[in-house]
Amino acid sequence: MARISDNEVQLDGIDKLILKRLMTDARSPVNSIAKEVGISGTAVHQRLKKLEKSKLIAGSQVLIDPKVLGYKTLAFIGIYLDQALRNQEAVRQLKKVPEVIECHYTTGNWSVLVKILCRDNEHLMQVLNTKVQTIEGISRTETYISLDQQIQRQIQL
């Protein structure tokens, strides 16, 4: 069973099998996982509770394909701030932009890197011009449109 020391979780083989199955399909029934790994459903449940308590498991989610909803343009925007101290307020304002789906404080040239999802290039231009570039403290942006996501995965166990 998982051991927790110095805010780091050490997984055993059974924990890894359980997690791999859930990472593939978070809706897998506990009893089905139990049969697969050779332990009781109660034992699987206890292990999951311990992993949740350790915060290794941060939740489960339903993944929605944005293209099915008409969102076909994915872009990354590097944001330059006129002053570093503007970061918190800029991020607060970026949270109000529904098209922004990720925001990262970065090293390098940009202060902030955001991932943005739009219906098309015209929608992206509108969001940039009316929502992102109008935020006080943003001096300029660099936008990179993703043509295709070629790798999507979680950390390997």
pLDDT, position 71? 97
User: Which CATH number applies to 66-146: 3.40.50.2000, 3.30.70.920, 3.30.465.10, 3.40.50.10860?
Assistant: 3.30.70.920
| Span between the terminal Cα atoms of the chain, in Å | 15
Give the strands of the sheet with 100-105, arranged side by side. 100-105, 112-118, 73-81, 138-146
pLDDT at residue 7 greater than cutoff 90: no
Q: Where in the chain is the domain with CATH 3.30.70.920?
A: 66-146
Where do you find CATH 1.10.10.10 in the chain?
3-53
Residue 5: the pLDDT is 66
Q: Class of the 3-53 domain?
A: mainly alpha
Looking at the DSSP bridge assignments, the partners of residue 143 are 77
Task: Tell me the pLDDT tens digit for each residue of 125-135.
Answer: 999 999 999 99
Q: Is the confidence at residue 36, as pLDDT, over 90?
A: yes
Q: What is the pLDDT of residue 155?
A: 86
| 58, pLDDT greater than 90 | no
At 68-100, the pLDDT tens digits run: 999 999 999 999 999 988 999 999 999 999 999
Question: Smallest Cα–Cα separation from 95: which of 111, 80, 116?
Answer: 116
